[in-house]
Chain A
Amino acid sequence: MSEEYENNKSSYQAQSSETISGDGASSAPDMDYVRPAEIGEQDLYHGHSFITKWIFCQDAKVIGVQYFLTAVFTGIVGLILSWLMRLQLGFPELAGFMTAEHYYQFVTMHGMIMVVYFLTALFLGGFGNYLIPLMVGARDMVFPYVNMISFWMFFIAVAVLMASFFVPGGPTGSGWTLYPPQAILEGTPGSGAGILLMLISLSLFVIGFTMGGLNYLITVLQARTRGMTLMRMPLTVWGIFTATVLAMLAFPALLVSSIMMTLDKVLGTSFFMPTILKAGEVLEYGGGSPILFQHLFWFFGHPEVYIVALPAFGIVSDLISVHSRKNIFGYRMMVWAIVGIGALSFFVWAHHMYVSGMNPWFGFFFATTTLIIAVPTAMKVYNWILTLWRGNIRMNTVMLWCLGFIVTFVNGGITGIFLGNVTVDVPLSDTYFVIAHFHMVMGIAPLMVIMGAVYHWFPLVAGRMLDEKLGKWHFWITFLGAYSIYFPMHYLGFIGVPRRYFEMYDSPYMTSAVGMNEFISLAAFIVGAAQFILIYNIIKTLKVGKPAGKNPWKANSLEWHTSTVPPEHGNFGDRLPVVHRWAYDYSVPGANDDFIPQTTPPSEVINTEVEKT
């Protein structure tokens, strides 16, 4: 091998695509050289009937939209559940129809729906399917058929989950963490069919997601277009890619814990069930370990936080760069921060279990690793701010959502440092402080990115621009409203109001927290209702919106340079694009425009000083 290398040394050097020079005169003649294609044209199945085109469709873009709509539907169910919870907490006299059992069921279903069936499916299934093939320059996902099955598995999982609302006993009410032994014991709401359907639905979700995840990974690894090196990929792809890796390694723990709990429930095994004395009677169970479930669950549960957060990090980086007309600050640092956060997320799970009774040394270890995660995360925040610094910022709806995200994420991150420390966490755990923390950091913050991404990419998907004025109303109501909801919750947590309580009875909290609870509930109703502005905006835009045309944001990445808008099946017409640069050449000195698309060869922009990527 080395001999061969010596012989061919000069040809390697001549073939390097990094011979870009600022000086036009001395540039090498092959400066536009990109290596020849390694992979043949993809063999695509084109649907002909309505069913194969729109229902059992193998086009990743349609599958992405299907995922998106299904996830939004479950998200609206989750939203309505949160309204019902807030009605009970703020105005219990109006919520006479609700029993404590109902409340627990709503808490549980709201949590599970929002984390797994809404955010995960929306980011990876929705944005992942739509954007990955377009952004890396592929015609479709590598296994379109498996991709299609993946969506329908998700659809069945959602159907099973929704069915649990209608079975006798209702859905499970054990909290979204489904801790045994109480999750499957009589006395917990929905301990019959409810918990069983939940576990089945989760297993189906994992199986379906695995099929989709394999597609995302292999498309990124093995199906990029010519010139698209790893370090030229938009950060959106990096975020979704890393999140998918996490999902592939974390969901197995969820699958295993679901299977084991199903067996505990159905066959009467005692994997998680200790010896239990109930009303003076010893139950059949005995000898199992409830803490084992917590370990398995949080080995899934903590990476799950980053499965939601990493795509948001990636997407927001791209949005900020495009809308401040500046390259992303520290691209490589951003990539490594995403990868580093992903790797670290597997070593922090037990910080959810400080009060579970595990060995105290565990707490020490996991507090340390948890706080280390603050380092790459803070790097990312600094880089977003430095990207904005002296940028040509366009204060449109997309940018507003991005700024909202940064602020909210910093907020939630700082309370995370409180909760990561064992001594601070112990008094705060299971209070409203925890609720405020994780809603800020993994609820509102990623949601802001989703909203920004919807306003950004809607012109690509539908070919029409969303209404800016409605968008700004949507943003400001959501932003101010979300803070009205969650800021007071921090205070509630500090005075010790416990979470998941149906009512405070006549505890001392009752008097001091009543007014605040009413205020939070009112804000929650308004914020929830404000989301329907977006739905109205979308319907209105589809009918009378301004046509977007090609590349309305003047962006560089490949999804805006398709043959048609919206892109057809196959994405790029006859010839796949050839990539010559990263996706962030904005406001380059010496260029005619303030953006240089990724497909522009160096010889066309000879007088520019560009990053050598």
Chain B
Amino acid sequence: MSDPKIEGLELKPGFKGMASDTASDQTMFKGVHWGKAMMWIFLLSDTFVFSCFLIAYMKGRGSTPVEWPNPSEVFALDAFGVPVPLLLIAIMTFVLITSSGTMALAVKYGYEKNRKMCGWLVLATAMGGLTFVGMQAFEWSKLIHEGVRPWENPFGAAQFGSFFFMITGFHGTHVSIGVIFLFIYSYKVFAGHYDTGKRGWFTTMKGDYVEIEILGLYWHFVDLVWVFIFAFFYLW
């Protein structure tokens, strides 16, 4: 991103520069697009949402009198007749993290105004997200088939089912919303809306490749949250 160089705006070294920059006029974060700043603050707020969910999960797991089920058994998948713990989850996590990589490349090509590469990479990210959601649907249906419900659970504490479906569902909703936007954005990239500055359908704001980066921020966040959910549900 090439910012126009503005006289008198160069950073002074050290804390002094940081302080004068922070408290200066017009903008606090120099050269940061409004939408990008908005996404960061939204993600901060969303972090609190997921933190509340995970803290509630820890408290719920701690206070239930019934034994918590063993995740390596519940989440095992039969491969060639042998139950392999965490197999599906490992693949899901791999797919999601890979999609973060393609997203980062899409941002790079976007700023280079490489319309084709950017579009294909956004589309690849969308496909990765879709695969993830699909595998999650498979995992849910497997658990439901085995009798796990939000209100009961044959393997142990009923809260296991409640928290699992609620938190992975809430995360899955985030991924699905991301996938929808990725498809829309890949269309917009291929159609050249960001090259011509075509105005948005609803917002009437001019299109710009920075939107790819903003969506990228969201996508990386969703992946990061997954890492925590993975650790708390599958490894604990």
A interface residues (Cβ-Cβ under 8 A, vs B): 1-2, 4-5, 8, 11-12, 15, 34-39, 43, 45, 142-143, 145-146, 210, 213-214, 217-218, 221-232, 248-249, 251-253, 255-257, 259-260, 263, 267-271, 284, 286-289, 292, 295-296, 299, 579
Contact = CB atoms under 8 A, between A and B. Distances in A.
Nearest to A42: B34
B64 A8 contact: no
Interface stretch (B73-81, B88-96, B114-122, B158-166): B158-166
Contacts, number: 169
B34 A35 contact: no
B32 interface: yes
24 contacts: A15-B8, A35-B8, A35-B9, A38-B30, A39-B26, A143-B35, A143-B38, A213-B45, A218-B38, A222-B26, A230-B24, A251-B45, A252-B45, A255-B49, A255-B52, A267-B150, A267-B162, A268-B151, A269-B161, A271-B159, A288-B63, A289-B59, A296-B52, A296-B56
Interface residues of B, number: 55
B59 A292 contact: yes
Nearest to B39: A214
A218 B204 contact: no
B27 interface: yes
Interface string B7-25: 1111111000000001111
A269 B153 CA distance: 11
Given A210-B45, A260-B166, A35 B25 contact: yes
B26 A145 contact: no
B41 interface: yes
Given A11-B8, A15-B8, A223 B204 contact: no
B28 interface: yes
Given A37-B26, A222-B29, A267 B205 contact: no
Contact of B10 (A4, A213, A255, A260): A4
Contact of A287 (B65, B150, B170): B65
A221 B27 CA distance: 6
Given A221-B29, A268-B151, A287-B65, A292 B60 contact: yes
A249 B12 CA distance: 32
A221 B28 contact: yes
A351 to B, nearest CB: 19
B159 A287 contact: yes
A210 B42 contact: yes
B28 A230 contact: yes
A8 B8 CA distance: 9
B158 A579 contact: no
A142 B38 contact: yes
A8 B11 CA distance: 11
A373 B206 CA distance: 46
A224 B49 contact: no
Contacts of A222: 26-29, 32, 34, 37
A214 B38 contact: yes
B6 interface: yes
A38 B27 contact: yes
Contacts of A142: 34, 38
Contacts of A267: 150-151, 162
A248 B45 contact: yes
B206 A43 contact: yes
A288 B60 contact: yes
A45 B204 contact: yes
Return the 4 tightest CB-CB contacts between A and B, nearest first: A252-B48, A269-B162, A256-B52, A252-B49
Nearest to B12: A5
Contacts of B221: none
B44 A226 contact: no
Contacts of B166: 259-260, 263, 269
B158 A286 contact: yes
Contact of B56 (A1, A249, A256): A256
A228 B45 CA distance: 27
Contacts of B35: 143
Contacts of A35: 6, 8-9, 24-26
Nearest to B47: A252
B105 to A, nearest CB: 28
A228 B63 CA distance: 52
B53 interface: yes
A263 B9 contact: no
B56 A260 contact: yes
B56 to A, nearest CB: 6
Contacts of B10: 1, 4-5, 8
A36 B8 CA distance: 9
A229 B23 CA distance: 6
Contact of A271 (B48, B60, B65): B60
